Structure 1
Amino acid sequence: MVEQRSFCGTIKGKNLRYLKDEKPEKLLRSAVGFILLDHFSLPSFTNALDALVTANLLRPELYSTCTFTLDGQEVMSDLGIIIRPDHDLSTYPLGDLKLLIVCGGLRTPLRANAQLRALLKKVAEKGVALAGLWNGAWFLGEAGLLDAYRCAIHPEHRPALAEAAQHSQVTSESFMVDRDRYTAASPSGAFYMVLDWIGQSHGAGLVEGISDILAFEASKYRRLNPTLHIKMAAPLREIVKLMEANLEEPLDLEQMSGWVNLSRRQIERLFRSQLGTTPLRYYLELRVTEARRLLQHSRLSIVQVAVACGFVSPSHFSKCYTAYFGYSPSREVRMEF
């Protein structure tokens, strides 16, 4: 019987879709609402939505989403695309939401709206987290809901927010998370803002999995702890790059030590402190993960995949693969070409 293994945190995210939980948690689905204002930023909205939808791909049914407009009618985005809302604000149980996001845009008028102000205050009193995209933070600030909070807003609207919410700290960041207030100044900021919110409930593994699919360039230099803004140390990044570039003929620790000018013990200490694993274990998990990708997305035989990923024999490859995924390479689903 093959001993079951689990991936370390950063690589686990890459494989979440393919891992079976022995004792899956019974989690209530979290509802996220979007209030779409006139000329809202469609890229900001879709980036935020994409993070939630991809989270559901990796961990099914974590989130449900719904859209609203102030008058219940269709609304036009900044790209001229018309969106029909899912629900009516006046009848939806907003207190059931976990997060309510106000979606603004470059041409969204900054006009006080008594209905929206009252609604946001009521929702805040119920403990729902509030967010603003692009200039959506202005509406939170105008309602007095950013007092003593740090926030982000598009540069065009910083002066307006500073005037409307004089007791808030308007930053120049692309996104800002401060307790139960989430604000983003750009489409990419909207994505990372929602990632931060997801990570607070479901951990770095899920965040890493989403980033690996949607922001794989940035995930190369992943934050090990997004909340504390701890990034992978430069020497560790170099070692990981070496590993990724040498999967077919894996390097030993002595070779990597010479490349990065660190001792074997220093390398082991880096992996243990920042990744919670050993260099050899991390290297093996990289190779197994690449093997899964090749099996799914190429016509290579199992033997060819084993060789391409540095396994000394098909039997050793099968044993390692089964240990991590719970089934043999021969049972992996091949994509159609």
Structure 2
Amino acid sequence: METEAPVCQTIGFLLLDQFTLISLSCAVEPLRMANQLAGEELYRWQTLSLDGQPVWASDGVSVTPDACAQDQRGFDAVIVCGGVGIQQAISPALIAWLRSQARLYCKRLGAVCTGSWALAQAGLLDGFQCSVHWELMASMQEAFTRVKVSSSVFTLDGNRFTSSGGTAPLDMMLHLIGRDHGHTLSAAISQMFVYERIRNERDHQRVPLKHLLGTQQPKLQEVVALMESNLEEPIDLDELAAYVHVSRRQLERMFQKHLYCTPSRYYLKLRLTRARQLLMQTPISIVELAVICGFVSTPHFSKCYRDFFGVAPSDERSDMRLHPPPALRPEGQSLAPQKPRDVLEQARDEPTFATVQIQRR
């Protein structure tokens, strides 16, 4: 049973050497805006480093943390912020600190970008699903066999929440805020950030095929490129095999060995993924979607969609209408003081201050 969120949560952001600045910003900024729109302090946050010293981001920006992690207690959640060279950023002291937080002080742990690797190395993701930047997906699954590495842009699993890199932490934090304080608030934050659609756990990272296959499978890459270019009128598998001068059986073996599925299943995944993008981002009818993505009939398309995504396309579109993407609207400009409480005080002059009513549970 999900516990009620505290009135004000305190979150620690642990910055590892060469962390990704965009991921940190995408995780922190939704908390600031949640406070502004609610007109009260729903969240507090601190940046931390293990020794309290400045940390270099991967883009060369030096960030002086608010506090030394070793001296801090009482966080409602700790989020590990990773980036480039994550293995080199992990030390025995870091592992010990993370384990002590999980054991004694803080039950909710998260990570952004490559920070999941640190949690996994500390044994804190065993039995959990997690997300990590696509560059580390394969190596992380090999290194930590008890961790279920997902290709989702973010993953919420019990008291663990992890996201891939770039802007994915924004989606994750919006979902956490929505879970704590309601969809109205998370949608309003999205509107302020000119963010057209909040992605969910069914959205997956687009992992470059070259990263999965290397340079050793040019025929397989060529077949996939053909599939991607022919979604409306799918090419027969025998024709695909003939195009790259292999037998159908050889083609099936290549897909099973390197992509862990049949060619037909992979082709179907490409077509359904494209269909979902159009469903979420355009007003195209479901009948038209079925044709555009190469399905012989609308019922067949709906069945395949439901089997793959766990929801019927009509239901997904209905949900979009109930919770439509917010209209584009620029965020108010303001100078950001250092402390969250000061930010909230300054935001009182913003026209959006306290514009969202929070429903207490």
Name the TM-score class by shorter chain: 0.5 to 0.7
User: Secondary structure at 1:101's aligned position in 2?
Assistant: strand
Which residues in structure 2 correspond to 1:223-238 (within 5 Å)?
A: 238=283
By how many angstroms is 1:217 displaced? 2.1
User: Secondary structure at 2:161's aligned position in 1?
Assistant: strand
2:88 aligned with 1:124: no
Q: Partner residue of 2:41?
A: 61
| CA pair 117-201 structure 1, distance change in 2 beyond 3 A | same
Residues 194-245 of structure 1 deviation map (CA, whole Å, 9 limit, x = unaligned): 11221221111111111111143226xxx7xx5799x999599749xxxxxx
2:152 pairs with 155, 173, 180, which one?
173
Q: How many Å separate the matches in 2 of 1:107 and 1:116? A: 15
Q: What is the TM-score of this pair, normalised by structure 1? A: 0.57
Q: How many Å separate the matches in 1 of 2:195 and 2:80? A: 27
Cα pair 1:154 1:185 within 8 Å, conserved = yes
Q: How many Å separate the matches in 2 of 1:104 and 1:184? A: 11
Moved more, 164-173 or 59-68: 164-173
Q: Partner residue of 1:90?
A: 70
User: Secondary structure at 1:130's aligned position in 2?
Assistant: strand
Q: How many Å separate the matches in 2 of 1:104 and 1:164? A: 17
2:322 pairs with 275, 300, 303, which one?
275
Q: How many Å separate the matches in 1 of 2:78 and 2:280? A: 40
Q: How many Å separate the matches in 1 of 2:87 and 2:159? A: 25
User: Secondary structure at 1:105's aligned position in 2?
Assistant: coil
User: Secondary structure at 2:145's aligned position in 1?
Assistant: coil
| CA pair 28-103 structure 1, distance change in 2 beyond 3 A | same
By how many angstroms is 1:275 displaced? 2.8
Q: How many Å separate the matches in 1 of 2:282 and 2:92? A: 51
Amino acid across the alignment from 2:43: Y
Q: How many Å separate the matches in 1 of 2:194 and 2:173? A: 13
Residues 141-172 of structure 1 deviation map (CA, whole Å, 9 limit, x = unaligned): 00111111111111222233223321111112
Q: How many Å separate the matches in 1 of 2:117 and 2:319? A: 44
2:162 aligned with 1:115: no
Q: Partner residue of 2:220?
A: none
By how many angstroms is 1:56 displaced? 1.1
Which residues in structure 2 correspond to 1:11-90 (within 5 Å)?
A: 28-59=7-38, 60-90=40-70
By how many angstroms is 1:106 displaced? 2.3
2:143 aligned with 1:143: no
Q: How many Å separate the matches in 1 of 2:143 and 2:277? A: 39
Cα pair 2:78 2:106 within 8 Å, conserved = no
2:143 pairs with 158, 164, 171, which one?
164
Report sequence identity in percent: 31
Amino acid across the alignment from 1:76: W
Aligned residues: 222
Moved more, 102-111 or 192-201: 102-111
Q: Partner residue of 1:155?
A: 134
Q: How many Å separate the matches in 2 of 1:101 and 1:153? A: 13
Q: How many Å separate the matches in 1 of 2:320 and 2:21? A: 40
Cα pair 1:45 1:187 within 8 Å, conserved = no
Cα pair 2:23 2:112 within 8 Å, conserved = yes
Cα pair 2:280 2:320 within 8 Å, conserved = no
Gaps spanning 5+ residues in structure 2: where?
204-275, 285-316, 333-350, 353-361
Cα pair 2:55 2:63 within 8 Å, conserved = yes
Cα pair 1:236 1:271 within 8 Å, conserved = no
User: Secondary structure at 1:100's aligned position in 2?
Assistant: strand
Q: How many Å separate the matches in 1 of 2:48 and 2:80? A: 10
Amino acid across the alignment from 2:85: R
Amino acid across the alignment from 2:53: Q
Q: How many Å separate the matches in 1 of 2:137 and 2:279? A: 34
Q: Partner residue of 1:5?
A: none
Amino acid across the alignment from 1:32: I
Q: How many Å separate the matches in 1 of 2:183 and 2:169? A: 18
Q: How many Å separate the matches in 2 of 1:107 and 1:212? A: 34
Q: Partner residue of 1:194?
A: 173
Gaps spanning 5+ residues in structure 1: where?
1-25, 240-269, 277-281, 297-332
Cα pair 1:31 1:99 within 8 Å, conserved = yes
RMSD: 3.6
Residues 120-140 of structure 1 deviation map (CA, whole Å, 9 limit, x = unaligned): 122223453111111100010
Residues 67-117 of structure 1 deviation map (CA, whole Å, 9 limit, x = unaligned): 111221111101111100101112211xx2122111110234445422221
User: Secondary structure at 1:61's aligned position in 2?
Assistant: coil
User: Secondary structure at 1:217's aligned position in 2?
Assistant: coil
1:214 pairs with 184, 193, 204, which one?
193
